[in-house]
Structure 1
Amino acid sequence: MTMNKQLLRWCIIFLAAISPLLVAGYLHYQRNNFSCETHATIVEQRAVIDMVMNFSFNDGVGSYDATGEYIEENKPPVAISNKVGFTYWREEGEVILVSNETNVLPKKHLNYLAYVPDFFQHRERGIRLNILPANADSYFFTYSNSPVMYCTKG
């Protein structure tokens, strides 16, 4: 009987010692493996951009996929899309993303592209973001301490 009690005690001590490591491992995994989606509508003077953007982060390799419409005043809507493959890492509390490949469509110049960071348009360009958990199901993306978007887990 005392052998069973002693074994039970050691099992409880072992579980108490290893549980913080399991929690830390789970949090590290969640921080580096997630995807999220956001819907954005950007209004310019004579145009509207309406798009859905998806981000995916998987242990240092990620992807960005956006589809939507660019609607200029008195013109038919133009379908727009962009796919970016990237690598990323964390440094000083921020996430650094470097694009490996991009595919901006359509290939013609649209006015809004002048405001889009190079990371989304050209290969081997980087951007430094802060990705902060807002709650269990979403994130805030900030750039230079300014909020950029609210992204919900997919």
Structure 2
Amino acid sequence: MTMNKQLLRWCVIFLAAISPLLVAGYLHYQRNNFSCETHATIVEQRAVIDMVMNFSFNDGVGSYDATGEYIEENKPPVAISNKVGFTYWREEGEVILVSNETNVLPKKHLNYLAYVPDFFQHRERGIRLNILPANADSYFFTYSNSPVMYCTKG
């Protein structure tokens, strides 16, 4: 009997000692392995951009996938899409993303592209973002302390 009690005591001590490490490992994994989606509508003077964007982050390698429409006044809608593969790392509380490959469609110049950061249009370009958990199911993406988007887990 005393042997069983002693074994039980050591098991409880072991679990109490290791549980903070397990929690820390889980939180680290969640911070570096997630995906999220956002729907954005951007209104210009004579055009509207309506798109769905997906971000995926997996241990330093990520992807961005966007599809939607560019609708200019008195013109038919133009289907737009973009796929970006990137690497990322955390530095000083921010996330640095560097594009490996991009595929912006259509290949013709559209007015809104002048306002899109190089990261989304060209290879080997970077952007520094702050990605903050908003709650258990979503994130805020901020740039220079300004909110950029609200992204929900997928």
With structure 1 as the length reference, what TM-score do the two structures score? 1.00
Local SS of the residue matching 2:142: strand
- String of CA shifts for 1:13-67, please: whole Å, max 9, x gaps: 0000000000000000000000000000000000000000000000000000000
Unaligned regions of 5+ residues in structure 2, if any? none
Aligned residue pairs, count = 154
Tell me how far 1:149 sits from its aligned partner. 0.2
Q: Runs of 5+ in structure 1 lacking a partner? A: none
Residues in 2 aligned to 1:13 and 1:147: alpha-carbon distance in whole angstroms: 45
**How much has 1:12 moved relative to structure 2?**
0.2
Calculate the aligned-residue CA RMSD, in Å.
0.3
Percent identical among aligned pairs is 99
Return the alpha-carbon distance in structure 1 between the equivalents of residues 54 and 144 of structure 2. Answer: 21
| Cα distance between partner residues in 2 of 1:145 and 1:6 | 55
| Structure 1 moving runs of 4+ over 2 Å | none
Q: Distance in 1 between matches of 2:138 and 2:107?
A: 32
Q: Can you list the C-alpha shifts for 1:56-110, whole angstroms capped at 9, x where unaligned?
A: 0000000000000000000000000000000000000000000000000000000
